[in-house]
Amino acid sequence: MDFSAHVPFLSKLLEHKNLSVAYSVLFIETYLSSPVNRREYLRNWWDLSRGANVLWGCSTIVLGTVLIGIKDGNVLIPLTLHAFCIGAFIAGWFAINDLLDIDIDRVNHPQRPLPSENISEIAAKKYGYRMIILSAVSLIAIIMNEPNFSELAWLDSVAVWLVALLIMIAYELDGPYNPALKKRIVWGNLAIASTVAITILFGAAAIDHFTDPLLWLVAAAAMTLTTAREIIMDTNDQDGDYNRNTLPKALGNEKARRTVWILAIASAILLSLPFALGYLPQNLIVFVLPSIASSFAVKPFLKKGKDNEAGHVLRAAMVFGLLGLALCGMIINH
């Protein structure tokens, strides 16, 4: 890029011996004059926040409303607040996680914003903490928005949020007598998977259906499938996971893959239970068959040791499951 246009202005600033201001002006002008830089800047923050995971979490908030068939327009504000709350929480957690795992990511994921130094550690730390605080503020807004405060319906949302916060702390907090869950065999996988179930239950709390067995079955299926995907991802990250006792490192890749296969089948069974138990019409199971088929289809990839491809198949099973259940709810209630 040609910086000649900046020379006169920078020269004046340098006369005042203000190098920091000069460089700041140069950065701002360069940033504003380049659409490519703007896109890269936004892309880095999107990657740090795991934007796709944020959108996924927000979409699961709405799933309960679609499945249960809530048509009351009054749920729009609670759903929006819950979605914003969980979205900020997810973004904040990922930023904090990447900050704490920067040495591991330099080996396993060097292209991520922090190891590639596209985002500074100080900026990531501030962003992560601010997102968690923003999520807490959103939770307060959820409580204040409750029309019947004395009935304590808001307690479900508070309980789910606090459980998510405790899981995050237990997953990340490390010490000589209390190693973080992410360093413990299977426990780290379960902690991450539980957050997927929590987003579904958080959405259930938004519409006062926290105890609905249908949504708990859906949450259990999602958690089981996510656990399988987390384990298979660990097989690819063994080089960088030098300080973690993951299942592939403890039992070997083959036993880990067998565990993934068992969990994939278990998730398919859990996904079919709402239809078998009468919570959803049996003929509508056709809409979740792509998800069930994807869970079974992971077997050849596991057998050939194609762990990365197996992870993609399991992710597809999750997406197909969410879309299939949403379609079931739309057909039943509309």
CA-based nearest residue to 203, from 27, 99, 325? 325
Is 129 contained in some domain? yes
Coil, strand, or helix at residue 142?
A: helix
The band of 260, judged by pLDDT with boundaries at 50, 70 and 90, is very high
pLDDT at position 319 is 92
Between 164 and 12, the higher pLDDT residue: 164
DSSP annotation of 114 reads T
Q: Report yes or no on whether pTM surpasses 0.85.
A: no
Q: How far apart are CA 65 and CA 74, in angstroms?
A: 12
Question: Do 165 and 99 belong together in one domain?
Answer: yes
Angle at 15 between CA 10 and CA 18, to 5 degrees: 70
Question: Do 292 and 147 belong together in one domain?
Answer: no
CA-based nearest residue to 100, from 65, 128, 135, 70? 128
Question: pLDDT per residue over 160-190, tens digit each?
Answer: 899 999 988 888 887 766 667 877 878 888 9
Range of the domain at 4: 1-33
Question: Do 81 and 175 belong together in one domain?
Answer: yes
For the chain, what percent of residues have pLDDT higher than 70?
A: 83
Is 309 contained in some domain? yes
Question: Do 174 and 228 belong together in one domain?
Answer: no
The band of 239, judged by pLDDT with boundaries at 50, 70 and 90, is low
291's tokens: 């998800």
Question: pLDDT per residue over 103-148, tens digit each?
Answer: 888 887 888 889 888 889 999 999 999 999 999 999 999 898 887 7
Is 277 contained in some domain? yes
Angle at 26 between CA 22 and CA 32, to 5 degrees: 145
Determine the average pLDDT of the residues in 39-67: 86
Is 168 contained in some domain? yes
- For 97-164, strand residue ranges (E) read none
162's tokens: 């606090």
SS (H, E, C) 261-320: HHHHHHHHHHHHHHHHCCCCCHHHHHHHHHHHHHHHHHHHHHHCCCHHHHHHHHHHHHHH
pLDDT at position 6 is 45
Is 42 contained in some domain? no
CA atoms lying within 13 Å on the CB side of residue 289: 6
Is 38 contained in some domain? no
Report the CATH number at residue 109.
Answer: 1.10.357
208, 231, 254: which is the final residue of a domain?
Answer: 208
Question: Do 230 and 321 belong together in one domain?
Answer: yes
Coil, strand, or helix at residue 26?
A: helix
Is 41 contained in some domain? no
pLDDT value at 159 more than 70 = yes
Structural domains counted in the chain: 3
The band of 72, judged by pLDDT with boundaries at 50, 70 and 90, is low
CA-based nearest residue to 257, from 296, 221, 298? 298
Determine the average pLDDT of the residues in 240-269: 85
Question: Do 51 and 88 belong together in one domain?
Answer: yes
Q: How far apart are CA 4 and CA 1, in angstroms?
A: 9
Q: Are 82 and 221 in contact (CB under 8 A)?
A: no
One DSSP character per residue, 213-271 reads HHHHHHHHHHHHHHHHHHHHHHHHSTTT-TT---HHHHH-HHHHHHHHHHHHHHHHHHH
Is 260 contained in some domain? yes
Question: Do 182 and 294 belong together in one domain?
Answer: no
Question: Do 64 and 143 belong together in one domain?
Answer: yes
Question: Do 94 and 194 belong together in one domain?
Answer: yes
Determine the average pLDDT of the residues in 277-300: 94
